[in-house]
Structure 1
Amino acid sequence: MTQSWFYKRLGNGLGTKILRTWLVYSPTKGAAYCFCCLLFARADGHNSALTSSQGFTKWKNIERMDAHENAPSHRACFADWKELERNLRTNSAIDIEVQSVYATEKQKWRYVLSRISHCIKFLATQNLPLRGHRENQCEDVGNIGNFLGLMKLVANFDPIIKDHMTRVSGKSGLDVLSGV
């Protein structure tokens, strides 16, 4: 395989050469592959040696590369590949939105867990018990304990912890650590 096979010469009379970005070569297998067709091939699409697991190795039949390049299935795969590339570059793919929501949730839960662990660490350094007489957050139960009392104090100044405390306080069977 020569380097000239990675370029397509246009028939415009000027001899313009265009790089075949879709063509990849495996030195270990000694074969060429169509990158976009391997990624986006459809079952009903055009099958060629460039899309098989063995790859293209018959260098005497190099005109098959042009035939593959002009096949409708290759053009569709190439368009899909370039669209994905553009979406990833502009951060407009669906995955980016899902990852953004996931990152926001992850950051929120790390924040909540950090505050909870700091409260526990504070009580432990003061050698104070976490529990009170009751395990729920109701105001009328008397002593709710040092941990829940400290968490309620933090919630007065921290809107994220306040949101977490109100979300878990109304659900039976849940405590301040629920959802963490």
Structure 2
Amino acid sequence: MKKDDFPQHDCGESDHGGDAFVNGGFNNWNMKARIRKHAGAINSAHCEAEGKYNMFIKPKTRIRESFASNSAQIKADYLARLSWSLKCARYLARQGLPFRGHNEKKDSKNKGNFRELVSWLAGNFEEVNRVVLDNVPSKCQMIDHKIQKELLAGCAHETSKLIIEELGDECFAILADESADAYQQEQLAL
């Protein structure tokens, strides 16, 4: 491609300050009219770039404000989705089953126990189907492995807290036992 193949637009001196900042330098900082000439009108490229910069540096809404502005239905759907994901995590943890599979892509035949359980619930219960998997934005499905780990960590924390409350000031012991498995690997059980 040659230079002439690109569309050209006129950037005359009437629109902005020209090439002063690039080629010759700008030394008339005390002349406000020159700076206004450089900035251009309200719809100039300079003003548009400045607006985008300000939006990037100082966003108008924070995450907390953005979440607070959501409708009650969106919040209810989010809590329902979180609740169903938590119920699936608790079930798998109680049964001692693994959460993830080897291939969790959409076209996989077995996506792992967690995703398969959520999918089964969605297929059998309309209230679940309404708030999970393909019926929600892809960034908020609550099925990612990081979310699964966080849900399980929350369950472990609550379980530990409950055990500590139940024990109170009483003494307790932790029993540890080790044995070799079929491959002569030492396994530790607490």
TM-score by length of 2: 0.34
TM-score by length of 1: 0.36
